[in-house]
Amino acid sequence: SIPEPQREAWKKHQVQGFTDKDGFEKEVVRHVETTLARSLFNCDEGAAYSATSLAFRDRLITEWNRTQQRQTTADTKRVYYLSLEFLMGRALDNAMLNVGLKDVAKGGIDELGFRIEDIIEQEHDAALGNGGLGRLAACFLDSLASLNYPAWGYGLRYRYGIFKQEIINGYQVEVPDYWLDFNPWEFPRHDVTVDIQFYGNVRKSQDDNGKTVAHWEGGEIVTAVAYDMPIPGYATPSTNNLRLWSSKASSGEFDFQKFNNGDYESSVADQQRAETISAVLYPNDNLDRGKELRLKQQYFWVAASLYDIVRRFKKTKRAWREFPDQVAIQLNDTHPTLAVVELQRILVDIEGLEWDEAWTIVTSTFGYTNHTVLPEALEKWPVGLMQHLLPRHLQIIYDINLFFLQTVEKKFPNDREMLTSVSIIEECQPKMVRMAYLAIVGSHKVNGVAELHSDLIQTTIFKDFVKIFGADKFTNVTNGITPRRWLHQANPRLSELIASKTGGHEFLKDLTQLNKLELSIDDAAFRKEWAEIKYANKVRLTKYIKKTLDVTVNPSALFDVQVKRIHEYKRQQLNIFGVIHRYLALKAMSPEERKKQLPRVSIFGGKAAPGYWMAKQIIHLINNVGAVVNKDPEIGDLLKVIYLEDYNVSKAEMIVPASDLSEHISTAGTEASGTSNMKFVLNGGLIIGTCDGANIEITREIGQENIFLFGTLSEDVEDLRHAHTYGSHTVDAGLNKVFEAIQSGTFGEPNDFGAMVAAVRDHGDYYLVSDDFQSYIDTQKMVDNEYRNQDEWIRKCIRSVARMGFFSSDRCINEYAEGIWNVEPLVVN
């Protein structure tokens, strides 16, 4: 560091960052002219966006430096959030709002000849995630910074994020998402690199004390390069770091020998193989596919992150046993579970600790969050693959399992069934490593993400582990969302209205203050303004639908929205069958009767995993229904069916505030939590849903009179499934009519959707669509009736928003901090 006498000069010139319009404009112009090498004669919206972002980035990085300095000096415990996905969306609007300078920027942009909305629209979403799990990680980063927790996120810097979805002739087509063309938010740290080893062999030797030491030798090396993204907190100078690793050939690996001998192709091939590791995000949500490259991604990212964390810890010169006092690592699902093994390897093989001492440190450091109970999503890796790619890690896994099973044996003597059931190695053909079991054994706390989900994991998939470790190790932390992005940024007018009724923007830091809104519920002017804001948001979406799909929808109709990944368990098929049912009913009515019906727009959006054939069928059916219904002159405004292409975070910010009703209708017991349910209610929309995930706690908080619940309860699911398979399974008349319409070719070729119909009618209806269909239709009828009474509807919306305080990700992060991480915020003066 700089010697004391020279520090004055540094301090004198420390970057302060702009605080007013003039300062902001100066920075923008400077970036246009120097960083971008443009002039005012060729500054388009793209350049204006770039320069604005760079101006804010400079500000963030100044605070980022100070925050890191403060944390290093304070020498307190840090949290590391390991996630293969961070679904960040756009950064500029968020940065402007969080540092409190959006108005300043708006004024400045205006004077420079642009509109701030257009500038914001220029930004490409950072789409490094599939859905719920990745977006939760992004909300958590916002809360961690906003609450001043010393925390880092660690992930992969994919060159291609989640694919872009195009709908062509009603079918999903995937287009690569190359997002790094110009990314002002990242800082390449070419000096922060880690060499990561794969393959090779393990040799064992004896040290001077006769202790056996393992040496992992040979194989190949790939280099991890750090890229940092500053994460600004809201209304605080705290700016945390998201470190994403990018892979490149190690300098040793790029074979100059080959290159000089003219074997260019092979030397370039080596390089490309290394870069492939961080090339692309796997596009599966709630599904494990077991691909070797995916395992390589996991180890690459986990090993680089742990090396970094350990390097930081070693600088403090503390004893190893203090590691868990300085470091908390959270595993976002099982994807980073190899971190458990890697830390044990570092401590035992490299640092020379005894196994037991090392293992105590490891288990005190990690916490594991489970995000799904779906069996097809639970990660398992073939032992053979693990042996080949990570030979030393497999040995350590076997040892962890051995010691674990010995303790089980002690507690449950002669219980072979128990041993087989909890073994980290599944004794099947081929043998598999069960990653969730490894994560449980390697962590001191395991949590689910909503009450029902946490109960389910403790009574079903992990029940034997509860017997072994005791109930205290298992806990619940119900998910939350950041009100900064999902209210203030997405719905600025509603945020202002709420501020005017609750005494300023305090609610953005303490969401429970929303409860003050109930005091204004009888204020007619307030309700009117509330309704006007909803309408304006619907008009905005209406225009977007017109522009992108050339369909005219009536903004006064009830907007019924289901946007999320397409999955059979989320039951978009139930929704579209309901839409067809409605269409058939309208068609059967006399014109007079039809006039009495309530107009509705059914809006869908979401991506299907490219290999998920049934999900793609569902998308196709929705689009085909839209094509018929939307141009039926007898129907007109009464029903429109819209499929919004390429649903992502920034589209959600437009869609969520425009919803009257949103659908969260998964088969009970399948959706771990859901978080869009929270976003919709927070934006003054009501929801129709099943008793599943966080819907249950939303009901508890807002009152059951403010939510439209229907369908089977989770405790009845198993019996119904059993009855479908072994008893007689009949489908009621209403649903049969829907099937007849589909199979008579009303929505395309008669055979097109045969498998979808058969799944419900003939093949056991695993997701209980037929069981829930009638109560879904009845509940939708109730929705129609209640929507007619607009005044009462608005009251319900306001009351619901007022009671949503619990669902802030700030509450959630505080629960993790206290119950799992044992970390404290670092107060800033």
User: Among all residues, which ones are annotated catalytic?
Assistant: 371, 564-565, 570, 675, 679
Report in angstroms how near the CB of residue 648 gets to ligand OAK at its nearest. Answer: 15
How far is CA 568 from each of CA 129, 375, 573, 773, 778, rounded to the nearest angstrom? 20, 14, 7, 15, 22
Q: How many residues belong to the site for ligand OAK (CB under 6 A)?
A: 18
562 binds ligand OAK (CB under 6 A): no
Amino acid at 191: D
φ/ψ of residue 308, rounded to 5: -65, -45
CA–CA gap between residue 374 and residue 387 (Å, rounded): 27
Cα separation of the two ends of the chain: 24
Sign of CA dihedral 502, 507, 508, 514: negative
Tell me the residue length of the chain.
829
What residues pair up with 604 in beta bridges, in sequence order? Answer: 562, 643
Report in angstroms how near the CB of residue 677 gets to ligand OAK at its nearest. Answer: 9
Please, are residues 494 and 533 in contact by the beta-carbon 8 Å criterion? yes
Q: Which of 324, 391, 693, 825 binds ligand OAK (CB under 6 A)?
A: 693
Report in angstroms how near the CB of residue 636 gets to ligand OAK at its nearest. Answer: 37
449 binds ligand OAK (CB under 6 A): yes
Options 256-264, 431-439, 456-464, 671-679: segment touching ligand OAK (CB under 6 A): 671-679
By CB under 6 A, what part of segment 329-368 binds ligand OAK? Answer: 333
Q: To which H or E segment does residue 427 belong?
A: none
Options 59-67, 129-137, 211-219, 487-495: segment touching ligand OAK (CB under 6 A): 129-137
Report in angstroms how near the CB of residue 577 gets to ligand OAK at its nearest. Answer: 22
Closest-CA residue to 297 (of 187, 373, 196): 196
If the CB atoms of residues 153 and 184 are measured against ligand OAK, the closer one turns out to be 153
If the CB atoms of residues 123 and 379 are measured against ligand OAK, the closer one turns out to be 379
CA torsion 404→349→335→362, rounded to 10°?
Answer: 60
481 binds ligand OAK (CB under 6 A): no
682 binds ligand OAK (CB under 6 A): no
Q: Which of 674, 684, 689, 711 binds ligand OAK (CB under 6 A)?
A: 674
CA geometry: angle at 89 spanning 272 and 280, to 5°? 20
If the CB atoms of residues 693 and 711 are measured against ligand OAK, the closer one turns out to be 693
649 binds ligand OAK (CB under 6 A): no
Q: Which of 143, 148, 286, 623 binds ligand OAK (CB under 6 A)?
A: 286
Q: To which H or E segment does residue 628 belong?
A: helix 613-629
φ/ψ of residue 73, rounded to 5: -65, -45
CA geometry: angle at 285 spanning 138 and 566, to 5°? 110
Structure tokens, 62: 């100044």
Please, are residues 177 and 162 in contact by the beta-carbon 8 Å criterion? yes
Please, are residues 578 and 776 in contact by the beta-carbon 8 Å criterion? yes
Structure tokens, 86: 């961070």
673 binds ligand OAK (CB under 6 A): yes
Options 15-23, 130-138, 599-607, 716-724: segment touching ligand OAK (CB under 6 A): 130-138
297 binds ligand OAK (CB under 6 A): no
If the CB atoms of residues 28 and 139 are measured against ligand OAK, the closer one turns out to be 139
Report in angstroms how near the CB of residue 353 gets to ligand OAK at its nearest. Answer: 33
φ/ψ of residue 300, rounded to 5: -55, -50
Structure tokens, 277: 């590791």
DSSP category for residue 568: G
If the CB atoms of residues 371 and 445 are measured against ligand OAK, the closer one turns out to be 371
Amino acid at 243: R
If the CB atoms of residues 367 and 674 are measured against ligand OAK, the closer one turns out to be 674
If the CB atoms of residues 262 and 375 are measured against ligand OAK, the closer one turns out to be 375
671 binds ligand OAK (CB under 6 A): yes
59 binds ligand OAK (CB under 6 A): no
Q: Which of 17, 89, 108, 132 binds ligand OAK (CB under 6 A)?
A: 132
Please, are residues 799 and 705 in contact by the beta-carbon 8 Å criterion? no
The closest residue (CB) to ligand OAK is: 132
136 binds ligand OAK (CB under 6 A): yes
Per-residue mark of binding to ligand OAK, 363-402 (x: CB under 6 A): --------xx----x-------------------------
If the CB atoms of residues 487 and 678 are measured against ligand OAK, the closer one turns out to be 678
Q: To which H or E segment does residue 738 belong?
A: helix 733-743
CA–CA gap between residue 230 and residue 517 (Å, rounded): 34
Please, are residues 617 and 600 in contact by the beta-carbon 8 Å criterion? no
CA geometry: angle at 362 spanning 359 and 367, to 5°? 135
If the CB atoms of residues 289 and 722 are measured against ligand OAK, the closer one turns out to be 289
479 binds ligand OAK (CB under 6 A): yes
Options 312-320, 488-496, 654-662, 667-675: segment touching ligand OAK (CB under 6 A): 667-675
Which residues lie near ligand OAK (CB under 6 A)?
Answer: 131-133, 136, 285-286, 333, 371-372, 377, 449, 479, 671-675, 693
